[in-house]
């Protein structure tokens, strides 16, 4: 049985990925960030928790990472700080986790001789689209400390392929959404405010366009990379369809049958040169190598997300802006 390690396993995408891997019969070791509460994030309530070997620790510690990777065949490295607004406030923490943490994992994987290291990038590294659809050759533009840290982590991962023949593949997902996503993201922020009964909801800029991919489709994109040996290469995971945030808001209002007044909240606006105005991804490279495609429509995905948040609304603090 293939032994797979997932870092960032307690997070939004990571928890779904762990469950998808278990369903497919893989042996999964999951890293949850250490805390003194023994809280395992989104894996806490997972029906598959008994089938997952869960370990608490911190990517920033190289000694811990060396132990974490022992006897592992494949690494899915998702562990990272991802909130863009918080990266304006605490950029050092993004360097420590996203760059140093990735370096620690790469070195550990090299020393243990893992057969595949799938490193998670982000469409944010492309910045505002210079051309669309965005393929893997699109220039990288660091428009936030977060995206700069991810560009650095991507380059570090690829350097380990070029320098040490570490079998690295870079997965570059576009905007995943769905159940369990934090309210720091716009879709759950909209839904939680509406379902909480607020007649006026606070949002940022609704003009940016995003390539939205339902989280389970994103996970299938990750898993499809297990069948590839295209080491040293980057693969986009994108739906190939873009929606403005205004269009997404309109869809959510229709699905919830609500009417609200929109208030532009200045603290939710990115600095002018930091806002990524358009992301539309090209996944033709991945599709040419695998059978993957994005299957869940935006309307179906939003309905599933609304249903999840409605059942778990008490876990959200809709009155507080989640940086």
Dihedral over Cα of 49, 52, 57, 58: its sign? negative
Can you give the pLDDT at residue 254? 97
> CB of 8 within 8 A of CB of 68?
no
Can you give the pLDDT at residue 272? 87
36 within a domain of the structure (yes/no): yes
Q: Which of 12-31 are b and which e, b meaning 16 or more Cβ less than 10 Å from the residue's Cβ?
A: bbbbbbbbbbbeeebbbbbb
Domain that holds residue 56: 3-176+213-237
104 within a domain of the structure (yes/no): yes
Q: How many domains does the chain have?
A: 1
190 within a domain of the structure (yes/no): no
Q: Is 288 helix (H, G, I), strand (E, B) or coil?
A: helix
Q: What is the largest CA-CA distance in the chain?
A: 57
132 within a domain of the structure (yes/no): yes
pTM of this prediction exceeds 0.95: yes
CATH number for the domain including 95?
3.40.50.720
Can you give the pLDDT at residue 322? 82
Kindly give the confidence (pLDDT) of every residue in the chain, 323 residues in length, as a single tens digit, with 9 standing for 90 and above. 999 999 999 999 999 999 999 999 999 999 999 999 999 999 999 999 999 999 999 999 999 999 999 999 999 999 999 999 999 999 999 999 999 999 999 999 999 999 999 999 999 999 999 999 999 999 999 999 999 999 999 999 999 999 999 999 999 999 999 999 999 999 999 999 999 999 999 999 999 999 999 999 999 999 999 999 999 999 999 999 999 999 999 999 999 999 999 999 898 999 989 999 999 999 999 999 999 999 999 999 999 999 999 999 999 988 888 88
User: Angle CA(50)–CA(294)–CA(248) in degrees, nearest 5?
Assistant: 100
Can you give the pLDDT at residue 319? 82
91 within a domain of the structure (yes/no): yes
Can you give the pLDDT at residue 321? 85
276 within a domain of the structure (yes/no): no
The whole-angstrom separation of Cα 26 and Cα 97 is 27
The whole-angstrom separation of Cα 118 and Cα 78 is 9
135 DSSP β-pair partners: none
Q: Which of 298-321 are b and which e, b meaning 16 or more Cβ less than 10 Å from the residue's Cβ?
A: beebbebbbebbeeeeeebebeee
77 within a domain of the structure (yes/no): yes
318 within a domain of the structure (yes/no): no
């Amino acid at each position: 049985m293939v032994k797979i390690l997932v870092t960032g396993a307690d997070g939004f995408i990571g928890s779904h990925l762990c469950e998808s891997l278990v369903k497919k019969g893989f042996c999964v070791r999951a890293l949850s960030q250490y805390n003194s509460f023994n809280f395992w994030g989104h894996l806490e309530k997972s029906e598959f928790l008994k089938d997952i070997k869960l370990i608490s620790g911190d990517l920033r510690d190289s000694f811990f990472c060396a132990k974490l990777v022992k006897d592992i065949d494949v690494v899915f490295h998702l562990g990272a700080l991802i909130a863009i607004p918080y990266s304006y406030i605490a950029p050092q923490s993004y360097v420590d986790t996203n760059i140093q943490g990735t370096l620690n994992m790469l070195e550990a994987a090299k020393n243990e001789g893992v057969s595949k290291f799938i490193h998670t990038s982000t469409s944010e590294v492309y910045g505002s689209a210079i051309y669309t659809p965005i393929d893997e050759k699109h220039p990288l533009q660091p428009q936030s400390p977060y995206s700069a840290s991810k560009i650095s982590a991507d380059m570090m991962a690829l350097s380990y392929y070029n320098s040490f023949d570490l079998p690295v593949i870079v997965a570059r997902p576009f905007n995943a959404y769905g159940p369990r996503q934090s309210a720091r993201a716009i879709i759950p922020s909209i839904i939680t405010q509406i379902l909480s009964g607020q007649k006026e909801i606070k949002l940022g800029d609704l003009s940016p366009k995003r390539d939205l991919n339902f989280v389970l489709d994103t996970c299938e994109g990750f898993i499809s990379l297990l069948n590839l040996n295209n080491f040293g290469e980057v693969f986009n995971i994108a739906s190939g369809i873009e929606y403005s945030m205004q269009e997404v808001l309109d869809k959510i209002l229709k699905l919830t049958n609500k009417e609200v007044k929109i208030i532009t909240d200045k603290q939710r606006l990115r600095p002018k040169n930091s806002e990524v105005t358009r992301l539309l991804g090209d996944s033709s490279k991945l599709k040419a190598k695998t059978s993957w495609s994005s299957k869940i429509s935006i309307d179906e995905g939003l309905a599933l997300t609304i249903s999840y948040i409605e059942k778990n609304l008490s876990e959200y603090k809709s009155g507080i802006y989640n940086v």
